[in-house]
Amino acid sequence: MGNCSLDFEQQKISLLNALVSMDTLSARTILTQPYDPCTPHQVVEQLVAPALEIIGEGWEKGEYSLSQVYVSGRICEELVDLILPPMHQSRRYQPKMAIAVLEDRHMLGSRVVYSALRASGFELAHYGSQTVDALAQRVEKDRIELLLVSTLMLSSALRVKRLRSLLEQSGRQVKIMVGGAPFRFDPALWQEVRADACGSSAAEAVDFAENLLKELQ
């Protein structure tokens, strides 16, 4: 992804206000503006994600209600679907890949990562929210080589360790890349749960897939 040098501070405040007032129309107007030279992914990472984070923090402090957090998440989900670019026509030779959310209902981040990978030419499955056992079975059945796991809650993040054990029992080499809030809060967590890599953004997932592709070629 190219350089995105815009300062989103003003738009972030406007988006935040629109979201907590549940004003979909204004949120849509803010997000569908052109932000050259920034790509829609960069707009999501530098505008949408920080605005939602502030709302989440405000909820912790009692400034916003859970319904405001929920509606904000839903509005952003719809708008992110709208602004992210369509997938490329051509698909490259690549490792078999899938993304899943582990025992968690926070879907937005995984969708952003999924779209970023597809927009970068990778083909992958989105398994939705899965339990550890169901996910391990699915990965085995589909012979997945790179599994991206998104968790937004610490309790879910800790379950990646069991997922790793189950996949090891099947005897296949599966690379696990994790991401989401708990891994940002604790930078050593990904190693503790025995993941192969951790990313803090969709762009990092794309870089990791690109590097894995080079290794396999």
Judged by the rule CB under 6 A, the positions of this chain that interact with ligand B12 are 45, 48-49, 52-53, 55-56, 60, 69-70, 73, 77, 104-110, 112-113, 148-150, 152-154, 177-182, 199-202, 204-205
We find the least distance from the C-beta atom of residue 139 to ligand B12, in angstroms, to be 14
- Residue 216 beta carbon to ligand B12: minimum distance, rounded to whole angstroms: 18
Question: Which residue lies nearer to ligand B12 by CB, 90 or 192?
Answer: 192
CB of 31 to ligand B12, least distance (A): 13
Residue 119 or 148: the one with the smaller Cβ distance to ligand B12 is 148
CA separation for the pair 108, 15 (Å, rounded): 17
Q: Which is nearer to ligand B12, 3 or 89 (CB)?
A: 3
Strands 175-179 and 146-150: parallel
Write out the two tokens for 179: 């991401």
The span from the CA of 202 to the CA of 194, in Å, is 20
Query: What is the residue whose two structure tokens read 């708008």?
Result: 79
Q: Give the nearest distance from C-beta 127 to ligand B12 in angstroms.
A: 13
CB of 103 to ligand B12, least distance (A): 8
Q: Which is nearer to ligand B12, 131 or 171 (CB)?
A: 131
DSSP H helical ranges for the chain: 9-20, 24-31, 40-43, 49-60, 66-83, 108-119, 132-142, 154-158, 160-169, 181-185, 189-192, 202-216
Q: Give the nearer residue to ligand B12 in terms of CB position, either 20 or 104.
A: 104
Exposure b/e, 184-196, CB count within 10 A at least 16 = b: eeeeebbeebbbb
